[in-house]
Structure 1
Amino acid sequence: MEALLGGGASRRVSIDDALAEHAGELGRWQLRHFVLVSAAWALEALNTMVIIFADREPAMACPAGDGQCGDPCGGGAPAAGWVWTQGTGSSTVAEWGLVCGQRYKVGLVQALFFAGCLIGSGVFGHLSDSFLGRKGALQLACTLNAVFALLTSIAPNYSAYAALRVLTGFSNGSVGFCSFVLANEPIGPSRRGVAGMSAFYFFSGGVVLLAGVAAIFQSSWRLLYVVASLASLVYLVAVLPFVSESPRWYLVRGRADDAIRVLRDIASTNGSRIPDGVTLKFDDDDDDDDKLAGAESSSSASILDVLRSRTTRRRLVLSVLINLLCAVVYYGLSLNVGNLRTNLYVSVAVNALAEMPAFLLTTLFIDRFGRKPLAISTLLLSGVFCTAGSLISAADDATMSVAKMACSVVGIFGMAATYNLLFIYTSELFPTVVRNAALGCTGQATRMGAILAPLVVVLGERVPFAVFGMAGIVSGLLVFYLPETMNKPLYDTMAGLEEGEKTLFK
């Protein structure tokens, strides 16, 4: 028994208490670890958003002169005489003629990619909570990303390309939430919200970086996938070896010696120390030794345990619905920006940069007003402005067009803030033993929303805004039924969460 807890002890504390009282909640160790792990978000951005540039429709020209080549889509297929101004290698659309009657294949690839993400997020969520661990799951996902992206760069035809995008989605869809959990679990409760919101700058930064790379390699879509592959490889070799496994995962797997070792390393790097008499316990542990024998069995909790518990089942259902609706709005508004008749590379970069103020404001207010009020406010803000946008007809009126764009900007501002806040909120709603599995489920819901988003965008000028507005308002109302998690313990076990809920309502 003493070996399980890390030696004979006079005082047993939870990981949250060990961080707050001894190791430090957000010191030099956590900052370094957070930056190294969160850099993986840039990899997810590269592999997700690359489709904007690789599958774009380049400009066409008629060398014979205006009017000499006829309709570019005469007879439903690309007409003879038309050429791609940047060459056939500039995009998949140009290389495989995905225009006219074949244009649907571009949207199909995007849907297939997110379908792969949907499957992968569930699989990697389970692996991350089980024997593989947070770090191991992230390593596997990045390895597969590197391999699949490289293979995509040499895809011989559309069918092979589509299949490889499904496989890339399978691995890439889990990179973000695996890195999010690994980066935030060693951080103390009072600093977790601020730190968590900072992770999403890496995703936006990755999109900006991608736009710059795509602008350089405009003549070859294949080189974009080579760059994505090399980025994952560099991360695997130069970053992940210097990252630690989560002490919380160690604890729930019955490896308390490893957990306390990581915490002592945190304390030492932060200029502090954990007293020799301190060992670790679960949130639901008291001084009853019988509970300590449950360490190994606690590690075997799964998503089924989430569904068996009334408390976590309700939280999971609400989280899934909210994440699905938010994804429809977030990706839908992002795709609308892609339809603007402006420079594609500049537009994508500006769109990503525009999300950063939303992250900043959420970071400033998340530990002041709480997760729940902030999520409700930003969702309703986005929903109201999207609804207003549905009432405006841009037609040929420049003023109305600007007004509609303003509604879109405010809508994506509010949704960007909420979309990323949900990672923190959702991770705090579930205990360590099932946290990644729960995030995997909400991640699957997010992917479903991403699949639906382009289908909403093609419904016309005003209908998409009406759908986005309704989705934002409904999801904001659903948050009312979730509990506040600010400054609450980050529970390790299902029993700890249930006991905490009972204590809260006594």
Structure 2
Amino acid sequence: MLKSSNTTNQAPTPPQDVIHKITGDCGKYQLLLCMLIFLSKIPIAHHQMAIIFLAPKVSYLCLDTNTYNTCPCSSPMYDDSVFTNTMIMEWDLICMRRWMASFSQTLFQLGVLIGSPLFGMAADRFGRKNPLLGAVVLQVSMGIVTAVVHEFWPFVFIRFLVGMSVGGTMVIGFVICMEFVATKHREMTAALYQLPFNLGHLTLPLFSYLFRDFRELQLAISVPTVVLLSYFIFIPDTPRWLLAVRRTDKAVKILTRVAQVNGRPTENIQSEVESYQAAIAKQTPIRKGNVLDLLRTPNLRKNLICMSFNWLTCSYCFYGVSQYVGQLDGNVFINVAASACVSFFGTLLSIPLLRVMGRRTIVIVFNFICAVCLLMLTVVPQGVWSIVCAIVGVVTSFIIFVVVYLYCSELFPTVVRNAALGTSSMMARVGSMIAPFIIDTEIEAGWLPPVLFATLPFIAGCITFWLPETKGCELMTTLEEGENFGKPISHDVNIKG
């Protein structure tokens, strides 16, 4: 039960910096841990963007009519001057079967959509480590199996499983980093977490240039993920989660190891942790949470809806507008590399922005910038300036992507943090699944895709005014803290088990 109050701040909290008091703000252990987690983002980018080179646009000569790129065509002869074999060539995904290539990517994103909340809730219930290991094993094994499957629908289903593993790895890896680093380093960590994705996106054209057969490419991007199996040895559960569910002995053991690596004193760890637990016990019993807890009370529910819509919007714009830019004429390898460089720039720009601006302010401002630039595509003639407007849309949407990862992890308490991130990430997949269909509306009217792309960031910018600012706040632990955060409390709020 939360008491009535006239204050606008969050409820009194226990000394949550006790973990960083023991381990230090950002020592050798945190740096090594984050570097290991960051590695997982490179294959994530490879798998998510691979469809560009697994099923690229390819020309063909229809031997039935001796004409190029015409339908129907029962005897196509494909141009293999750039790619020796692709999904299109392997399974004749042209004419009436053309939709199957896009559908395979839709199912991959559906896998990410399902995997994000599934693994996220598992991590809130069973700890961060074991669900992460499950996602890694699934990604390594299914990624390699995909390369040797010869039938289309088994290929699509196994890529769906890879998508599930990608969703789980992204969500849990980010939460582990956030729960190990101190508040003052969260901005930098959140931004740096995205750089390996940009590097993966940037190196994918190199892989595809070297491996022109889609099976060889799939194998080339999957085999290096074997290194992630080192997580079995080097990645622990987070002390913050262990303390939240009162597994104190294991938390003390991990905190002691971290303190030793960082050269911190270890004599008083047990007593400090016990004091921390006692402070929590005086407030309210701590229990494990799930996604339903995010919907039971009005403030958490409102925060989840607003945050999820922002995730959907930035994914919708980033993947959709990136695909729009990728349809430009020219060298496909250079075009994709250029798009990746733009995203890399956006990530670097987000680092100083997170230092000097609030999370809410960044999300609002860049949503509106994104909306204006995309809307300008309806009046700017095709050419350099239309490309500039589209690229600004890509940059701003990716900056929002970087910020909402951090914003979401700060906005929800420990016991439901993974569930919130998983649900929000799930909505991002919905956005990425919708985006290709928006591009197809150009057949109806040339101005329609820019308008549809611009509408969502405008709405997202407006609803973000309802979210509280989290910059500089300690991570919350209990559902009561989460419900009470950033709002005036004028009546009793009962959060039931």
Structure 1 residues 18-417: aligned runs within 5 Å: 18-19=19-20, 21-60=21-60, 70-79=66-75, 82-86=77-81, 90-131=85-126, 133-218=127-212, 220-236=213-229, 238-273=230-265, 276=268, 278-280=271-273, 287=279, 294-295=285-286, 298=287, 300-394=288-382, 401-417=383-399
Q: How far apart are residue 268 of structure 1 and its match?
A: 2.9
Using the TM superposition, give the Cα deviation of residue 266 of structure 1 relative to its aligned residue in structure 2, in angstroms: 2.8
Instruction: Give the aligned CA root-mean-square deviation in angstroms.
Output: 2.6
* Residue segments in structure 2 that go unaligned for 5+ positions in a row: 1-12, 492-497
What letter corresponds to residue 348 of structure 2 in structure 1? L
How far is the alpha carbon of 1:205 from its aligned partner? 0.6
8 Å CA contact 1:34–1:184 kept in 2: the answer is no
Displacement of 1:58: 3.3
Alpha carbons of 1:13 and 1:50: their partners in 2 closer, same or farther (altered >3 Å)? same
* Cα deviation, residue 245, structure 1: 1.9
> Is residue 483 of structure 1 aligned with residue 468 of structure 2?
yes
1:336/1:144 CA distance change after superposition, 3 Å: same
Q: Write the distance in 1 (CA, Å) between the matches of 2:282 and 2:37.
A: 36
> Relative to structure 1, is the Cα distance of residues 194 and 89 closer, same or farther in structure 2, using a 3 angstrom cutoff?
same
Identity, in percent, stands at 26
| C-alpha separation in 2, matches of 1:274 and 1:367 | 32
Amino acid at match of 1:76: P
Q: What amino acid maps onto 2:390 in structure 1? A: S
- Displacement after TM superposition at 1:385 (Å): 0.7
Separation (CA, whole Å) in 1 of partners of 2:159 and 2:395: 29
CA contact (8 A) 1:58 1:90 kept: no
1:167-202 Cα shifts (integer Å, max 9, x gaps): 222222222111111122111111111111110001
TM-score by length of 2: 0.89
SS at match of 2:432: helix
Contact 2:41/2:194 (8 A) holds in 1: yes
Q: Find the residue that maps to 1:209 and give its secondary structure.
A: helix
Question: For residue 8 of structure 1, what is the aligned residue in structure 2?
Answer: none
Counterpart code for 1:98: L
Distance (whole Å) between structure 2 residues aligned to residue 75 and residue 363 of structure 1: 50
In 2: Cα distance, 1:289 partner to 1:313 partner? 25
Identify the match of residue 482 of structure 2 among 497, 500, 503: 497
Q: Deviations over 1:302-359 (max 9, x none)?
A: 1111111222111011111121122211111111122111211221122112112211
Structure 1 residue 243: deviation in Å? 2.0
How far does residue 59 in structure 1 lie from its aligned partner after superposition?
4.2
Aligned partners of 1:393 and 1:462 also within 8 Å: no
> After the TM superposition, which of the residue ranges 202-211 and 444-453 deviates more from structure 2?
202-211
Contact 1:115 1:169 in 2 (8 A): yes
- For the residues of structure 2 that align with 1:308 and 1:198, how far apart are their CA atoms? 34
CA distance in 2, matches of 1:274, 1:87: 60
| Regions of 4+ moved over 6 Å | 502-506
Offset at residue 73 of structure 1 (A)? 4.5
Does structure 1 conserve the Cα–Cα contact (< 8 Å) formed by 2:350 and 2:402? no
Deviation at 1:404, TM superposition (A): 0.3
| CA distance in 2: counterparts of 1:281 and 1:149, whole angstroms | 44
1:69–1:27 distance in 2 versus 1, CA, 3 Å: same
- Write the letter of the residue equivalent to 2:342: A
Does the 8 A contact of 2:26 with 2:182 survive in 1? yes
Amino acid at match of 1:344: V
* Counterpart residue identity of residue 158, structure 1: F
The alpha-carbon distance between structure 1 residues 347 and 188, as it changes in their structure 2 partners (threshold 3 A), is same
Identify which range, 241-250 or 267-276, moves more after superposition: 267-276
- Partners of 1:45 and 1:350 in 2: CA distance: 15
Q: Which secondary structure state, in structure 1, belongs to the residue aligned with residue 272 of structure 2?
A: strand
Structure 1 residue 286: Cα displacement: 6.3
Please give the alpha-carbon distance, in whole angstroms, between the structure 1 residues aligned to 2:461 and 2:275: 33
CA distance in 2, matches of 1:73, 1:402: 28
Q: Which amino acid is the alignment partner of residue 45 of structure 1?
A: A
2: distance between equivalents of 1:282 and 1:271?
22
Distance in 1 (CA, whole Å) between partners of 2:313 and 2:220 is: 32
1:440 is the counterpart of 2:422: yes
> In structure 2, what residue type is equivalent to 1:51?
I
- Does residue 471 (structure 1) correspond to residue 464 (structure 2)? The answer is no
Q: CA deviation at 1:483?
A: 0.4
Point out where structure 1 has 5 or more consecutive residues left out of the alignment. Answer: 1-11, 395-400
Question: Which residue in the other structure is 1:7 paired with?
Answer: none
Conservation of the 8 A alpha-carbon contact between 1:25 and 1:188: yes
Residue 207 of structure 2 contacts residue 221 of structure 2 at CA under 8 Å; is this kept in 1? Answer: no
Q: CA distance change for structure 1 residues 484 and 221 in 2, over 3 Å: closer, same or farther?
A: same
In 2: Cα distance, 1:87 partner to 1:354 partner:
25
* DSSP-derived class of the 1:303 partner: coil
User: How many Å separate the matches in 2 of 1:504 and 1:359?
Assistant: 37
